[in-house]
Amino acid sequence: MPTANADRVVANLRQLAEFGKYKTGIHRPSLTPPHLQSMTWLKGELEALGHKTVIDGIGNVFGFSQAKGRKVLSGSHLESQNHAGWLDGPLGVVYALEAARAIKADPAFADCGVDVGAWCDEEGHFGFFMGSRSACGELSEADIDKAFDRTNGRKMRDALAESGLTGRERVVVDPKQYVGYLEAHIEQGDWLEATEQKIGVVTSIVGIRQFRITFEGVQNHAGTTRMAIRKDAGLALARLAVDIDDRFPSLAGPRSVWTTGRITLDPGGHSIIPGGAEMLFQIRDADPAVLDRLEAALLEMIAAANAKGPCRVQTEALRKTIPAVMAEPFQAALDAAAEAFAPGKHERIPSGAGHDAQVFAQHMPAGMMFVPSIGGISHHWAENTSDEDIGIGAQVFVDAVARLLKGNQ
Amino acid sequence: MPTANADRVVANLRQLAEFGKYKTGIHRPSLTPPHLQSMTWLKGELEALGHKTVIDGIGNVFGFSQAKGRKVLSGSHLESQNHAGWLDGPLGVVYALEAARAIKADPAFADCGVDVGAWCDEEGHFGFFMGSRSACGELSEADIDKAFDRTNGRKMRDALAESGLTGRERVVVDPKQYVGYLEAHIEQGDWLEATEQKIGVVTSIVGIRQFRITFEGVQNHAGTTRMAIRKDAGLALARLAVDIDDRFPSLAGPRSVWTTGRITLDPGGHSIIPGGAEMLFQIRDADPAVLDRLEAALLEMIAAANAKGPCRVQTEALRKTIPAVMAEPFQAALDAAAEAFAPGKHERIPSGAGHDAQVFAQHMPAGMMFVPSIGGISHHWAENTSDEDIGIGAQVFVDAVARLLKGNQ
């Protein structure tokens, strides 16, 4: 039976955490030197395993097994959010690598293989799911042309050039070659920890609808402009944010979430009535009908705000990802593997965060597995998972891959 | 009768507008090279007039008339807001200079004089009313020690040293030497223009209470954190802003204004629930009782928000200026002068903006006069007043000074 080497998995993760180390986490944005170091490291490990490797024109790292039989595609991402955790992404990459090693090492799986991928920019420094969309043939050259780093404005074309990747082909995978795609990730929430479980078997990945909502009023002196004639863009924004939060609960599904993550007032002076305001707003749910209902309500509220005045409100859709249901055989394989190595300590749960698996799920059967996040902390350098839980997760993951390769026996 | 030279006034203002020229306005923050140039220019003009001049240790420019009889103190400020208008401040300084010239030139006023001041940092780059408070003996060395430029963090001590002002005494005026203080300014609102008037006789200057209100929630992933357990600091802020705007109108006076000028969410990522939020909020009114009532209501709302949760709300008072009533004889002198040179086109109005006159008003009788602002535009480089209105204002101002020197004859 293919077996994970838990010590090796933890050691590999600690090696990766040296690239862009920041406090107890990492700062490894897409296509920066530490990210390139992590890519080179992965390529080396895959070569050592005998995989055929390539770092392609979007910064995806591929390791193709030479096996001729059934194959699983597996991976995650190596870059991080700014000043974030060491496991968000790398855990799934190292589990995939470990699964490739364990399958290769087991004579009973001589014909089978695990192809490994590290998908560039899952964290969205330049866009959203640039790497996995490229690997699925969904990303155009024009998409790359217009992409830039939202932190510093660096064009993705320049970043690729500085990474020595200009002119390389972008590899597109052939879904027919695979049983499907399997990815592991930290939960990024506290459900598993709070319920003392070790494994989350993902049922679905939410769709995200993200909007930029802008408010146009009239900038003026905060002392000399009477309340009656003001067109305060900031106040119009606050009213919409509160209206949304009052109205959405009655329309939402049990797991719907909505967030105003950023608010900017223009010009932002303490004695100036804001003439402009902007909010970044997003809705997430696993059910497209719920997303449609919430988006329609948002647009109704914006229309009402425009009808009422005094500010003009406009909305721009920035991002619309499709919810993905995980394939039932993949969930079953994960259930069985989890029951074998963490009996009674696993549960089927939806994913509120987006993952590369949702891109692959549009092209082949896909599955996802979570391990616990300590305190539910995520997108922060303090993010962590115990070594013990990392080890249990690795073994469950390898076992699930083995079950899928053998037709979920 | 003392007469203003309207052409000279406009020419002087245009000369001043060359120092830090920006589009049709100026960018002349406190204690920057263009501000120092404007101070040197004023000192030169006052010397040419025979005034005893000094630039003191806070960057105030003084010109003392050598007359032994009745005196009026007059002035305004030379620095600007960032990228702002050419008249906000300089108009009052040049009117004071012109009044000093006109009184000196009139043999009937041989014993009388106008002392001229340009008060540093009325616009609050480093604090609030630093120059006029210093001239009134209200500013301590410790106040200067802790002051820094809110745009770039430059310490006021460093700015004074770089301006060559370290070690100079700070001049404190003796209120007993003066009939009082008179200041002219652009209206910074559209009331005079909308009502086709030329002169506003200021009845009172508002007091300002300014607060930093901070909201402490819990930062978390916008996808994986259920709505029920969120502590969204941004949403708590929006709710308070809306609550204020719903409740204040029933408590406010007819001219009360309140403004949230700046909102910041921390960290401000599109997929991160804000763990922190901050708003800059201010209230203005000419009546201390109204200010007290509104502040009490604000504190009640904050206490209620804290009692309800889920975020912790704290408030810090940043600024508290006292409303100032303009002296009746000064209003009467301005009424009479305006009726002489702009018959039927003047009105008594309160000032919603703060001015150095409110500092002087705590120490001697004070008055203020407004000229129209085109379109009410203020704190923006497009701010303007027609040359004709500048000329009318100059004559009314000089005449009002003459009336005050002669005991409002």
Residues of B in contact with A215 (CB under 8 A): none
Q: Which of A70, A294, A281, A21 is nearest to A179 (CA)?
A: A70
**Interface membership of A270 toward B (CB under 8 Å):** yes
Residues of A in contact with B284 (CB under 8 A): 222-223
**Interface membership of A220 toward B (CB under 8 Å):** yes
Q: And the tokens for A87?
A: 């496991």
- Cα(B241)–Cα(B281) distance, integer angstroms: 9
Contact (Cβ atoms closer than 8 angstroms) between residue A120 and residue A130: yes
Superfamily of domain B6-206+323-405: Zn peptidases (3.40.630.10)
Q: And the tokens for A349?
A: 């749960």
- Main-chain phi, psi angles of B300, to 5 degrees: -60, -45
**Interface membership of A132 toward B (CB under 8 Å):** no
Residues of B in contact with A223 (CB under 8 A): 188, 206, 208, 257, 284, 351-354
CB contact under 8 A, B222 and A284: yes
CB contact under 8 A, B245 and A235: yes
| Among candidates A206, A265, A353 on the partner chain, residue whose Cβ is nearest the Cβ of B262 | A265
What separation in angstroms does the CA of A268 have from each of B82, B146, B213?
13, 23, 15
Residue B154, helix vs strand vs coil:
coil
- Cα(A333)–Cα(A227) distance, integer angstroms: 63
Q: And the tokens for A209?
A: 């609808």
A interface test, pick of B205, B259, B311 with most A CB neighbours within 10 Å = B259
Q: Which of A72, A10, A9 is nearest to A367 (CA)?
A: A72
Where chain B has pLDDT below 50, the residues are: 409
Contact (Cβ atoms closer than 8 angstroms) between residue B128 and residue B319: yes
DSSP B34-67: HHHHHHHHHHHHHHHTT-EEEE-TTS-EEEE---
pLDDT at B409: 44
> What is the C-alpha end-to-end distance of chain B, expressed in Å?
12
| Among candidates B257, B269, B354 on the partner chain, residue whose Cβ is nearest the Cβ of A261 | B269
Residues of B in contact with A379 (CB under 8 A): 221, 269, 271-272
- Cα(B272)–Cα(B295) distance, integer angstroms: 32
pLDDT at B407: 87
Contact (Cβ atoms closer than 8 angstroms) between residue A2 and residue A105: yes
Q: Which of A113, A44, A28 is nearest to A77 (CA)?
A: A28
Q: Interface pTM (ipTM) of the complex?
A: 0.81
**Interface membership of B270 toward A (CB under 8 Å):** yes
Amino acid identity for residue A115 in this structure:
D
Contact (Cβ atoms closer than 8 angstroms) between residue B199 and residue B393: yes
Residues of B in contact with A376 (CB under 8 A): 220, 224-225
pLDDT at A317: 95
pLDDT at A409: 44
pLDDT at A164: 97
Q: And the tokens for B270?
A: 């599109």
CB contact under 8 A, A261 and B257: no
Q: What is the pLDDT tens value at each position of chain A, 409 positions in all? A: 999 999 999 999 999 999 999 999 999 999 999 999 999 999 999 999 999 999 999 999 999 999 999 999 999 999 999 999 999 999 999 999 999 999 999 999 999 999 999 999 999 999 989 999 999 999 999 999 999 998 899 999 999 999 999 999 999 999 999 999 999 999 998 899 999 999 999 999 999 999 999 999 999 889 988 899 999 999 999 999 999 999 999 999 999 999 999 999 999 988 899 999 999 999 999 999 999 999 999 999 999 999 999 999 999 999 898 899 999 999 999 999 999 999 999 999 999 999 999 999 999 999 999 999 999 888 889 999 999 999 999 999 999 999 999 985 4
- Cα(A156)–Cα(B40) distance, integer angstroms: 51
**Interface membership of A83 toward B (CB under 8 Å):** no
pLDDT at A408: 55
- Main-chain phi, psi angles of B53, to 5 degrees: -115, 155
Closest chain B CA to residue A269: B261
| Among candidates A223, A237, A245 on the partner chain, residue whose Cβ is nearest the Cβ of B353 | A223
CB contact under 8 A, A223 and B208: yes
Residues of A in contact with B237 (CB under 8 A): 238
Residue B408, helix vs strand vs coil:
coil
Angle at B111 between CA B108 and CA B117, to 5 degrees: 110
Amino acid identity for residue A154 in this structure:
R
Closest chain A CA to residue B379: A221
Q: Which residue has tokens 């939060």? A: A245
Residues of A in contact with B189 (CB under 8 A): 221, 224-225
- Cα(B229)–Cα(A375) distance, integer angstroms: 13
Q: And the tokens for B192?
A: 């005079």
Q: And the tokens for A109?
A: 């799986």
Q: Which residue has tokens 């200026």? A: B321
**Interface membership of A376 toward B (CB under 8 Å):** yes
A226, exposed or middle or buried, with CB in 10 Å at 0-12, 13-18, 19+? middle
Given its phi and psi angles, is residue B81 left (phi above 0), alpha (psi -120 to 50 degrees) or beta? beta
Residues 21-80 of A with CB under 8 A from B: none
| Among candidates B189, B234, B249 on the partner chain, residue whose Cβ is nearest the Cβ of A263 | B234
Q: Which residue has tokens 């500085």? A: A162
DSSP A193-204: HHTT-SEEEEEE
pLDDT at B408: 56
Q: Which residue has tokens 């408590």? A: B251
- Cα(A184)–Cα(A156) distance, integer angstroms: 27
CB contact under 8 A, B257 and A189: no
| Among candidates A188, A227, A268 on the partner chain, residue whose Cβ is nearest the Cβ of B262 | A268
- Cα(B204)–Cα(B326) distance, integer angstroms: 5
CB contact under 8 A, B259 and A245: no
Q: Which of B268, B218, B224, B238 is nearest to A208 (CA)?
A: B224
Angle at A145 between CA A154 and CA A122, to 5 degrees: 70
- Cα(B368)–Cα(B355) distance, integer angstroms: 9
| Among candidates B224, B235, B249 on the partner chain, residue whose Cβ is nearest the Cβ of A188 | B224
**Interface membership of A352 toward B (CB under 8 Å):** yes
A interface test, pick of B240, B271, B272, B374 with most A CB neighbours within 10 Å = B271
Domain coordinates of chain B in residue numbers?
6-206+323-405, 207-320
Residues 188-207 of A with CB under 8 A from B: 188-189, 206
CB contact under 8 A, B265 and A262: yes
CB contact under 8 A, B265 and A265: no
Peptide bond into B267 cis (omega under 30): yes
Architecture of domain A6-206+324-405: 3-Layer(aba) Sandwich (3.40)
Nearest CA to CA, how far is A207 from chain B (Å)? 10
Residues of A in contact with B245 (CB under 8 A): 235, 238-239
Nearest CA to CA, how far is A363 from chain B (Å)? 24
**Interface membership of B256 toward A (CB under 8 Å):** yes
Domain B207-320 has CATH 3.30.70.360: yes
Residue B6, helix vs strand vs coil:
helix
CB contact under 8 A, B235 and A269: no
| Among candidates B221, B252, B379 on the partner chain, residue whose Cβ is nearest the Cβ of A221 | B379
Q: Residues with Cβ < 8 Å from A314, sequence gap 6 or more?
A: A213, A214, A216, A302
What distance lies between CA A249 and its chain's CA centroid? 25
**Interface membership of A118 toward B (CB under 8 Å):** no
Given its phi and psi angles, is residue A89 left (phi above 0), alpha (psi -120 to 50 degrees) or beta? left
CB contact under 8 A, B378 and A284: no
Q: Residues with Cβ < 8 Å from B12, sequence gap 6 or more?
A: B45, B94, B97, B98
**Interface membership of B249 toward A (CB under 8 Å):** yes
- Main-chain phi, psi angles of A339, to 5 degrees: -65, -30
Residues 286-345 of A with CB under 8 A from B: 318
- Cα(A42)–Cα(A60) distance, integer angstroms: 11
Give tens-digit pLDDT for B297-356.
Answer: 999 999 999 999 999 999 999 989 889 999 999 999 999 999 999 999 999 999 999 999
Contact (Cβ atoms closer than 8 angstroms) between residue A263 and residue A273: no
Residue B335, helix vs strand vs coil:
helix
| Among candidates B223, B263, B352 on the partner chain, residue whose Cβ is nearest the Cβ of A284 | B223
Residue A297, helix vs strand vs coil:
helix
The CA dihedral of A149, A152, A155, A158, to the nearest 10 degrees, is -120
**Candidate CATH numbers 3.30.9.10, 3.20.20.20, 3.40.1390.10, 3.30.70.360; the one for domain A213-320:** 3.30.70.360
What distance lies between CA A91 and its chain's CA centroid? 13
- Cα(B107)–Cα(B129) distance, integer angstroms: 36
Residues of B in contact with A193 (CB under 8 A): none
